[in-house]
């Protein structure tokens, strides 16, 4: 019995020594391999996005106070950046930088970008145009109306509705009819829009253009539209002070 135990222990010990010797050989082999060399992840002639963003923004900042010749070069570089970049984030950066540079063709470039396939790029171009547009005010309003009616993305349409209310000035007549009949009519059509946020934005813009306060009570705004279209004889009454007060319902009274 003792001999069997001894033989078993010797066998286990021998197997362990073989394994250890093998590991030692492998470790020695691995130790002789050359070390990995650190390599840059930069592709030649292509800046990674953070650096490209920084360069684009620097061009926009520089162009705001650059000479006419420098602006011409910077605008050309930014337009090329927009046209050649497959990344919508880079195209948005190019749009934002382009909007900062005074240039006679800037508005035309931004209007062309409104046809971009990415809604966020179109949104950047639309917001830039609302801040920098140097053409006739009626042309800007027509552009906004076109976007809020035809853009396939609801966020772009929503922005166009909001901006139209901000840029449209109106002189309300005594009978409550705004002199901006076209804008009012187009916003009135959006009171039937299937997107609730657009209906709400249309009411807010109608309030800014007409000066009338019907809050977010869509039935009053619809009544107002019927009034200016000559369908009903009376202008809806605006909200009273009491109606403007916020309604607070305590839990125990629900």
Provide the pLDDT for residue 243. Answer: 72
CB 95 within 8 A of CB 121: yes
Instruction: Supply 27's token pair.
Output: 């470790």
The predicted structure's pLDDT at residue 202: 97
Between 23-32, 145-154, 180-189, 206-215, the lowest mean confidence (pLDDT) is in 23-32
**According to the model, what pLDDT value does residue 48 have?**
65
Mean pLDDT, range 62-77, rounded to an integer: 93
- Per-residue pLDDT tens digits for 130-156: 999 988 899 999 999 999 999 999 999
User: Which fold would CATH assign to domain 47-134?
Assistant: 1.25.10
Domain ranges within the chain, ordered by starting residue: 47-134, 136-241
- Mean pLDDT within 11-16: 54
Q: What is the pLDDT of residues 15-42, one digit of tens each?
A: 555 444 444 444 444 344 444 455 555 5
* 46 φ, ψ (degrees, to nearest 5): -140, 115
CATH fold match for the domains 47-134 and 136-241: yes
From the candidate CATH numbers 1.10.3230, 1.10.287, 1.25.10, 1.10.260, the one assigned to the domain spanning 136-241 = 1.25.10
Q: Are 82 and 91 spatial neighbours (Cβ–Cβ below 8 Å)?
A: yes
């Amino acid at each position: 019995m003792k001999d069997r135990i001894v033989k078993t222990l010797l066998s286990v010990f021998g197997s362990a020594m073989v394994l250890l010797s093998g590991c030692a050989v492998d470790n020695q082999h691995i130790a002789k391999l050359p070390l990995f060399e650190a390599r840059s992840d930069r592709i030649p002639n292509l800046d990674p996005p953070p650096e490209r963003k920084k360069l684009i923004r620097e061009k926009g900042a520089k162009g705001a106070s650059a000479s006419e010749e420098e602006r011409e070069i910077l605008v050309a570089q930014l337009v090329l950046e927009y046209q050649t970049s497959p990344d919508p984030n880079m195209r948005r950066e190019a749009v934002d930088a382009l909007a900062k540079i005074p240039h006679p063709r800037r508005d035309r470039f931004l209007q062309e970008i409104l046809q971009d396939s990415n809604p966020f790029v179109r949104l950047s171009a639309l917001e830039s145009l609302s801040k920098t547009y140097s053409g006739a005010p009626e042309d800007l309003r027509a552009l906004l109306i076109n976007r809020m009616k035809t853009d396939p993305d609801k966020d772009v349409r929503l922005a166009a509705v909001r901006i139209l209310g901000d840029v449209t000035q109106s002189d309300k007549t005594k009978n409550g009819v705004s002199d901006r009949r076209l804008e009012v009519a187009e916003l009135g059509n959006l009171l039937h829009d299937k997107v609730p946020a657009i209906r709400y934005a249309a009411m807010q813009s109608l309030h800014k253009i007409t000066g009338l306060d019907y809050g977010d009570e869509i039935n009053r705004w619809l009544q107002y539209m019927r009034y200016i279209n000559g369908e009903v004889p009376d202008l809806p009454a605006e909200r009273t002070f009491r109606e403007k007060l916020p309604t607070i319902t305590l839990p125990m009274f629900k």
